[in-house]
Structure 1
Amino acid sequence: MPGKLGISKESGDGAAALQTASASFPLEELAWQCTKNAIAVSQYLSARDLPQPSHEPDGPSNTLPKDAPPSVRRARQSLIDAALQLFQLAAGPSEFIPNLAPGFQYVACLTWLLRYDIFHLVPASGTISYQDLAAAASKRTGGAESIPETRLKSIVRMAMTAALFREPEPNHLGHSATSALLAREADVHSWASYLSTRSAPTALAMTAAHDRFTPASVSKNETAYNVAFATNLPFFDHLALNPADTAEFAGYMRNVTTSEAVDVKHLVGGYPWADLGSALVVDVGGSTGNAAIALAKAFPDLQFIVQDLPDNAAAGREAASASLPAPILSRLTFQPHDFTTPQPVTNADVYLLRMILHDWPDHVAAAILKNLVPALEAKKKQSKLLIMDTVLPAPGQVPRSVERIVRVRDLTMMQVFNSHERDLEQWKALLAAADGRLRLRRVVEPFGSTMALLEVELEGEGEGNKEEEEEEDKEEEDGNWDISG
C-alpha cells in the first residue's frame, strides 16, 4: 500500500532507494531534499500541536515559531532553497524571461490593491462577490472613480497566483492567509505599501540614475531614488516633507526590524555579553533604544548609553521612562550625538554600531569609524568596537533563497543611499581605511540572521605579528574563522 509520499511500504526502504537513485538526477535530488525537509518541519509542528502551513485565512503567519530549534529552522531553510532550485531547474533557461513577467506584475497588482484598499474591503471571514467588491471600492473613492468589475477580477486573479486572496466559489472572493495578514497588521500593510510605491519605482530607476549621474557617484542626492521621485534631496530629507510618508516608512521599519532576519534576538544571543560583567556599552546611532533595551533586559549587569540625533534621543528617553521598570531604566542613558562628529564618551567597554555603516558610502563610513578611534585609544585593550551589519557571502556560499534576499539589501543601499553592503574583504578594507590599527578579531553570523557580528579591537604599536596574520589567513581559507554559525 503506498504511503503518503507515494513510496511503497512493501518495497523495503523506499526512501533510501529514492535518495540513492536521485544522486545521478538533479531533479530527483532536489525533490528528495524537499520531501525530507518538509517531513522534518511537518513532524515538528505536529508533535507540538502547532498549525501546519496553510493558505486558509486563519493559517499561521509564520511556518515556524521563533523558538524552534536550529535543526528544524535549518530544515525549513533547506526546504525553501531546494524548492526554489527545483522550480528554476525544471523551468529551464528558455523559461527565464517569461518567468520574470509575473514578478513585476505582482508588484503592479499589489500597488493597485493597496491604492483601492481591497485588502480591507474583503471581509475577514466569508466572501464577497466581485460585483459588490467593485461597488465598495468605487464608493471608497467618493464616487470620483468607477472600478470596473472586469478589471478588478483580472488584477485579483493575477494576485491569487501569488497566494493573495482565494476564490472558494465562482465569482466570490475571500482572504488567503497572506492577504488576511495584510488586512490585519498595519505595519505589514505599510511594509507592502512602501515596497510597491517606493522600493519598486526606485529599483526601476537605477539605470536612468547611472546614466544621469554616473555609476561611480557616491552623493546621497544622486541616486535612483532621486530620479524616481524627481527630487534633489537625500532620501530622509525628502521623506520628512510628508508626514504620511514618514509614518508609512516608520511602519515599514517596525516590520523589518521585527522580522526573523534582523530580529534583535540575534544581537542578544550572538555575542558573549554576560562575560563583560558590569561593562558600559555605547549604542552609537541607537535610535530610540530598541537594541539597548533588549540587551538590558537580558543582561542585568550591563550599563548603556544610547546615542542618536536630539529628536530621537528625546523620543527614546520619553518612551523608556513611560514603559520600563526602574531596574532597567536606571541602566539606560539617552544622549544626543551625531556620529559624524567625534565620540564624546571615552570610558566605554563596547561601542556598538548596529545597522549603521551600510547606509553610508565608504568614505563616510570610514569617517564614522575614525570618530571612534580616540575613544578606543582611551581604554587601550579594554575597549571593543562591535559592528552588526551584513557580511555579503561569496556567490553560492549560502542557500540561494537566502543569498537573493541579501543581494536585494545590497542593491537597495545602492539605489537609495549610494552605499552598499560589504563582503568580508570590503569590511577589512574599510577598517584599514579608517585606521590601520583597527583589527577584525572575529565574525559571527547567527543562524537565521542576515547580519553578522564583527568584533574589532584597536591594536597598539608593535602588537600582532606576521605569524598570527598567516595563521588567521589560513583559518579564513579553511572557512572556519570568518563566519561561524
Structure 2
Amino acid sequence: MAESQLRALAAEITKLADSFATSLQEKGLPEASFSVDSPISHKGITAEMFMTRQTLSDKLTDMWYLVQGPSESIYNYVHNVIPDAACLNVLNHFNFWEAVPLEGSASYSEIAEHVSLPLDVVTRLVQHATTLRLFEEISSSQVKHTSRSAALAQQAGLQALVSSVLDITGAPMVSTLDSFMAPFDMAMSSALEKYSKGKPELTQDMSETAFALFHSTGPLGKKHTNSWEYLENDGEGDRRGWRQAKFVEFMKYLKDIFHLEGIVLDSYDWQAAGKSTVVDVGGSAGHDAILLARKYPDLKLIVQDMPMVKPVFEAELPDDVRDRVSFVEHDLYQPQPTQADIYIFKLILHDNSESECAKILKALTPGLRPGNRVIVIEYIGKVDEGESESESDAKKEPLPLSIRQMGTATDLRMMAIFNAKERPAEAYRSIFKAADERFDIVSLKADPLTFFAVIEAVWRG
C-alpha cells in the first residue's frame, strides 16, 4: 500500500513545529498565541528559525490543500478570499480595533455606537472576523480582542499597511481581474460610509449597494444597476451575456460540490406528487428539472429564468426529457404567468433582502390555488445550531470555524451585492407571512452540516 501523504505531511509538520518551539524556548522567546497578551511578532529569531517557520507554513498549506482535495480547496479559497479581505478592510476603515478595550470586552451595541454603523452590519462583520481569529465572541453579545485584532489596535503602522494594500492597491487588482468581485475591496467601505453610517439599519435599497456604487461611475467603461443586469448584458457582440453562461456553469458545479441533487430529491415526496406540474423559478439551465424528470416520469417541469439563459437551456436539454421539461422566460418580480401545483425556489431568496423576498413570493399569489405548494431550498451558512429538527450529537457541538466562515463569507457577499443577508431557516416563516397570510409553513428542516434548509409552504387560499 502506498504511503499516506497526509500521514507523511503530519509527521513533517510535527517535527518542524517541535523544532521551532524548541528553538524559541532555547532562546528564551515566547510563543505567539491568540491571547491579547501574546507577543505581536517573533522578534529575535535566527535565519535558521525563520526558514524552519516558513517551511512549516508551506507544509501546513499543503496539508490544507490535501485535506480538502483539489476541487474543494480551490472553491473554498475563492469563496473566502474576497470577503476575508473586505471584512478586514471595513473593520480597519471604521477602526473597530479601538471600539473594543484591550483588556475587557465590548458589546455589539457598544461597537456599533463607536463606529456609527447599524448594529446588524457590525454583528455580521465581527462574526466573520471571528472566523479569522480577529476578535472572539465570549457570549452572544460580547466580544473581546484576540492577539491579531489587538496587534492592529496597538500598531498604527499595521493599520496603515492594511489600508494601503487593500484600499489603494487592492481595488485596481480586483477590478482589473473581475468587476463582479470588485465591490468587496473597492466599494464596500465607501457604500457603508455613504448609505448606512449613522443609521439604525443597513439600507435595503438595491441602488445603494456596494455593487451599484462601484458600477455607478462605470470604472471599466460600463454601468450596471444590479448584478443580474451585469450578468445578462456584459460584453459586446457575440460576447454579450458571457458572464451569464459562466454563472450557469457555476450553478452546475455547486450541484456537485454541495451534493444538491440529493437535497433536491429529498426536499419533497415527489413520488406522491404524481402527475403534478412543477415550476422551477430561477431554475438556470434546468439541471434540477432534468434530474426530477428522469427520476419521476409523471412530473411535468417548467424552468423559468432570464432570456439569456434560454439558449443554454435548449442546448443542454437531453432528448429523453424534452417532452416534459420546458423553458419560460420570466422576471420573478412580475406576476407568475404559469399555473402549477408546486413552485421551487432554490438558492434564489438568499440573494434578496427580506422585503424583496416577500415581494417575490407575493408575485406568485394571483395564480395560486388552494393546496399549491412552494418549496424553498436555501443555503443557510449562518446557522442557529439549535434550530435543526435533528438532535444528533454532531449538531450539539460548536461548529468548526471553517464551517462558520463559509456562511459568514457568503453573508458579506450578500451585503456587498444585494444589501441582503444570510438568514437562519426560521426567518422564512416571517417572510412568507409578510408576503401573504394565506401561506402556511408545513415543514422546515435545517441541517448545518449540509449548509441547507428546506422550507415547504402550502397556499390555503
2:275 aligned counterpart, secondary structure: coil
Summarize the alignment of residues 365-376 of structure 1 with structure 2, pairs less than 5 Å apart: 365-376=357-368
Alignment identity in percent?
Answer: 24
Task: Work out whether residues 262 and 450 of structure 1, in 8 Å CA contact, stay in contact via their aligned partners in 2.
Answer: no
Summarize the alignment of residues 213-224 of structure 1 with structure 2, pairs less than 5 Å apart: 213-214=195-196, 216-224=202-210
CA distance in 2, matches of 1:334, 1:103: 48
Structure 2 residue runs of 5 or longer lacking an equivalent are 1-6, 12-33, 35-61, 74-130, 137-144, 153-157, 386-396
- Residue 303 of structure 1, CA deviation: 1.4
The aligned residue for residue 384 of structure 2 is: 394
Work out which of the residue numbers 214, 228, 241 in structure 2 matches 1:228: 214
What amino acid is the match of 1:233?
Answer: H
Summarize the alignment of residues 150-165 of structure 1 with structure 2, pairs less than 5 Å apart: none
The aligned residue for residue 317 of structure 1 is: 314
1:95 aligned counterpart, secondary structure: helix
Work out which of the residue numbers 349, 352, 357 in structure 2 matches 1:357: 349
The aligned residue for residue 299 of structure 1 is: 296
Summarize the alignment of residues 20-419 of structure 1 with structure 2, pairs less than 5 Å apart: 60-62=69-71, 93-96=146-149, 194=178, 198-199=180-181, 201-214=183-196, 216-229=202-215, 230-231=217-218, 233-234=224-225, 235-239=227-231, 240-242=233-235, 247-248=242-243, 250-251=245-246, 254-255=249-250, 257-259=252-254, 260-261=257-258, 263-320=260-317, 324-326=318-320, 328-346=321-339, 348-376=340-368, 378=369, 380-381=370-371, 383-391=372-380, 392-394=382-384, 398-419=399-420
- Structure 1 residues 113 and 298, CA gap change in structure 2 (3 angstroms): same
Task: Work out whether residues 352 and 418 of structure 2, in 8 Å CA contact, stay in contact via their aligned partners in 1.
Answer: yes
* Runs of 4+ deviating beyond 6 Å: 3-6, 53-57, 84-89, 99-115
- Structure 1 residues 360 and 113, CA gap change in structure 2 (3 angstroms): closer
CA distance in 2, matches of 1:103, 1:325: 54
What amino acid is the match of 2:250?
Answer: N
CA distance in 2, matches of 1:448, 1:293: 26
Number of residue equivalences = 305
What amino acid is the match of 2:377?
Answer: M
- Residue 201 of structure 1, CA deviation: 4.3
For residues 53-93 of structure 1, what are the alpha-carbon distances to aligned partners after superposition, in whole Å with 9 as ceiling and x for unaligned?
Answer: 86899x952589xxxxxxxxxxxxxxxxxxx899999xx92
- Structure 1 residues 301 and 97, CA gap change in structure 2 (3 angstroms): farther
For residues 178-197 of structure 1, what are the alpha-carbon distances to aligned partners after superposition, in whole Å with 9 as ceiling and x for unaligned?
Answer: xxxxxxxxxxxxxxx54xx5
- Structure 1 residues 233 and 331, CA gap change in structure 2 (3 angstroms): same
1:217 aligned counterpart, secondary structure: coil
- Residue 289 of structure 1, CA deviation: 1.1
For residues 145-167 of structure 1, what are the alpha-carbon distances to aligned partners after superposition, in whole Å with 9 as ceiling and x for unaligned?
Answer: xxxxxxxxxxxxxxxxxxxxxxx
1:352 aligned counterpart, secondary structure: strand
What is the TM-score normalised by the length of structure 1?
0.52
For residues 271-320 of structure 1, what are the alpha-carbon distances to aligned partners after superposition, in whole Å with 9 as ceiling and x for unaligned?
Answer: 33223223211111222212211222232332101122334335423431
What is the TM-score normalised by the length of structure 2?
0.55
Which structure has more RCO (C-alpha within 8 Å, separation ≥ 6)? 2
CA distance in 1, matches of 2:324, 2:63: 44
Task: Work out whether residues 282 and 348 of structure 2, in 8 Å CA contact, stay in contact via their aligned partners in 1.
Answer: yes
The aligned residue for residue 469 of structure 1 is: none
Structure 1 residue runs of 5 or longer lacking an equivalent are 7-26, 28-52, 65-83, 116-192, 461-485
Task: Work out whether residues 307 and 313 of structure 1, in 8 Å CA contact, stay in contact via their aligned partners in 2.
Answer: no
Larger Rg: 1
- Structure 1 residues 399 and 54, CA gap change in structure 2 (3 angstroms): closer
Task: Work out whether residues 270 and 444 of structure 1, in 8 Å CA contact, stay in contact via their aligned partners in 2.
Answer: no
- Structure 1 residues 251 and 106, CA gap change in structure 2 (3 angstroms): farther
- Structure 1 residues 199 and 450, CA gap change in structure 2 (3 angstroms): farther
CA distance in 2, matches of 1:270, 1:434: 22
